[in-house]
Amino acid sequence: MDFQKSKSKENLVRAFAGECMDGAKYQFIIKSCKQEYKFLSDILKTIAKNEMAHAGIFYKLIVKYGKNQATNIDIKAGYSFEPLELLTSLTGSLEVERKESQKIYPEFAKVAKEEGFLDIAQAFDSVAADEEHHVVMLTQVCDRLKNKKLYKCDKETFWCCSNCAHHEMAKEAWKECPSCGFPQGFVMFSLEDRMSSNVLKSPNKNCENNKYSTKNKNNTKKTPQKSNKNK
């Protein structure tokens, strides 16, 4: 199959543009996180970095197959623009991630296989799996934001300071870290990984039923730390 006439060429370009937009949107959302959601903004920075890596994977494939003829490629595609309020924009991004991982990229992979571009198919399958991981994380984040459970749970759960690693089992995270004095926004809430998660099937799963807290249930010992509030 001639790449220039293939559907895979168009799909790669659409995917590249989509990933760039996803990455840019996360950067904009991070700006609404402020100090109050410092740990959340760190998670989003990682996701934004992942999206740019995906864009890079697609870009390289376009260059590889397009040779010198891959300039000025026209595409027709729709992209969504939500207000940059934290929950609204994250919910919008979650839906994009879901579509990419469950529908768009698996379809693109199928087309690439049919057209004989096996490495392109593999790239779409691989990125679809990465996007599924984003779905799992963002589902939990949106659920926690919606239910005001970023720093509170119904049952004892594991909290950890992303600045100094002070950790505790409690229903609610500290307002100010007892060890380093950093504010609540630095508290890490536990996110399930996609291998152990049922989040895709049950988006409203309670935040206390997670792998991290279970794993640390027997590890409630606090590490003695020197107070260093003025750093």
Contact footprint for Fe ion (CB under 5 A): 19, 51, 54, 97, 131, 134
Q: How far is the CB of 127 from Fe ion (least distance, A)?
A: 6
Q: How far is the CB of 161 from Fe ion (least distance, A)?
A: 27
Q: How far is the CB of 101 from Fe ion (least distance, A)?
A: 8
Question: Toward Fe ion, which CB reaches closer, 3 or 26?
Answer: 26
Whether residue 112 contacts residue 14, with contact meaning beta carbons closer than 8 Å, is answered with no
Whether residue 171 contacts residue 227, with contact meaning beta carbons closer than 8 Å, is answered with no
Question: Toward Fe ion, which CB reaches closer, 127 or 173?
Answer: 127
Question: Toward Fe ion, which CB reaches closer, 59 or 186?
Answer: 59
Q: How far is the CB of 184 from Fe ion (least distance, A)?
A: 27
Closest CA to 26 of 40, 45, 42, 39: 45
Question: Toward Fe ion, which CB reaches closer, 24 or 87?
Answer: 24
Question: Toward Fe ion, which CB reaches closer, 19 or 168?
Answer: 19
What size, in residues, is the chain?
231
Q: Would you state the structure tokens that stand for residue 195, as one six-digit string? A: 């291998």
Residue 88 sits at φ, ψ, to 5 deg, of -60, -45
Q: How far is the CB of 179 from Fe ion (least distance, A)?
A: 33
Angle between helices 7-31 and 86-99 (to 10 degrees): 160
Q: Would you state the structure tokens that stand for residue 158, as one six-digit string? A: 């594991």
Q: Would you state the structure tokens that stand for residue 122, as one six-digit string? A: 């593999």
